[in-house]
Amino acid sequence: MNEPAEAPFKSGFVVLAGRPNVGKSTLLNALLKFKLSIVSPKPQTTRHKILGILGGPRYQICFLDTPGLIAEPRDPLQKVLKRAARTAAHKDADVIVLLVEPQRPGPRELEELSGLGGQTPLILALNKSDLPSSPGAHEEVLRAYSEALKPAAALKISALRGTGVEELLEKLLARLPDCPPYYDQDGQLSDRPERFFAAEMIREQVFALYRQEIPHATAVVVEEFLEKKGTRDWISAVLYVEKDGQKAILLGKGGQALRDLSEKSRRALSEFLGRPVDLQLWVKVRRDWRRDPRSLREFGYLA
C-alpha cells in the first residue's frame, strides 16, 4: 500500500502594506503572537522594514512590516519611507496584504494603490472591522476597493481583537510558493539584532509620552549594548532631535521627563529581552536631520 505523499513545504515573503496607522504592526504582532513591532495611536510610527518570521510544521511565512504609504510626503524622511514601502511591495513580496480602513476610498487613493504589487497576488484586508458601523457599510468599502484593485481575496479582520487573523493566514498559505524555508526553523522571530529592537522600544515610549511634533522629530541611536553574564545588560542610547526647544521638552523640568522616559523604556526593554537591563539616555540636537541625507544614512534610513 502506497504511503500518502507528504504535503510540500511552503515558504515566502508577505508584505504588509497600507496607509499610516492602519494597523500593520498590530497585525504582525497578532500573527506572530509576540510583540515584535512597536505600535502607537499616532501615525507614521513604523520607520523601518521589519521582518517577522512565522514558522509552522510545513510552512514558513516571512512577514515584512513596512512604513505607511504616505499620500503626500512632506520631507526627505517621509519620501524615503514611502519609497521603502513601495519597493518592498514590488520587489520583495510573494504575496501582499493591503490593509485598509473601514472608510470608503476616494478616486485618488484608489489610483495610487492600483498596481501596488504588479502581478503579485494581493489580499485585501479591511482592518478595524470591530468598530461600529451602519449595516452593510464594511461590505460596501470592501466592494469599492475590490472593484478597483481586483484582489485575489478580500476579508474583514480586527488585528487588535484577533478576529479574522486565522482566516487571513489560511488565504496566505494557499498562495505561498512551494519552497524550502529561508531561515532556520528554530523559533527565530526576525533577522534584526536586539540592538535594533532596543532603539525601537525606546522610540515607542517617546510616542507614548510626548505629543505634537516631538515623536516624529526624534531619532534613537543605540551607542552601547553590552550583555553582562550574571548581571544586568547595559544599554546607552542617544535621542536626536532637530531643535533646542525639542531637546528642552524631552528633558523636562529638572530632567524629570527624561527620567520618566528612561524608566518606562527600561521596563519595556526588560520585558522584550526577558532579562533585566540598565539604561542611560542622552539627548542631542542634530539640526533638521529629517532633511539631511547624511543623517538619514547614519540613522539607518538610507542605505
Per-residue pLDDT for the chain (303 aa), expressed as one digit of tens each?
455 567 899 999 999 999 999 999 999 999 999 999 999 888 888 888 899 999 998 999 999 999 988 888 889 999 988 888 888 888 889 999 999 999 999 988 898 888 787 789 999 999 999 988 888 899 999 999 999 999 999 999 999 999 999 999 999 999 999 999 999 888 889 999 999 999 999 999 999 999 989 999 999 999 999 998 888 999 999 999 999 999 999 999 999 999 999 999 999 999 999 999 999 999 999 999 999 999 999 999 987
Same domain, 257 and 227: yes
Q: What gap in Å lies between CA 175 and CA 178, rounded to an integer?
A: 9
Identify whether residues 16 and 158 lie together within a single domain: yes
Full residue range of the structural domain in which residue 215 is found: 194-298
Q: Would you state the cell numbers that stand for residue 68, as one nine-digit string?
A: 505607511
In a domain, 184, yes or no: no
Looking at the 3D structure of the chain, how many domains does it have? 2
Within-domain flag for 85: yes
* Grid cell digits, residue 153: 481575496
Residue 275 belongs to some domain of the structure? yes
18 inside domain: yes
Q: What is the pTM of this model?
A: 0.91
Question: Is there a single domain that holds both residue 242 and residue 118?
Answer: no
158 and 223 inside one domain: no
Please report whether residue 76 resides in a domain. yes
- What does the angle CA 42 – CA 116 – CA 148 come to, to the nearest 5 degrees? 100
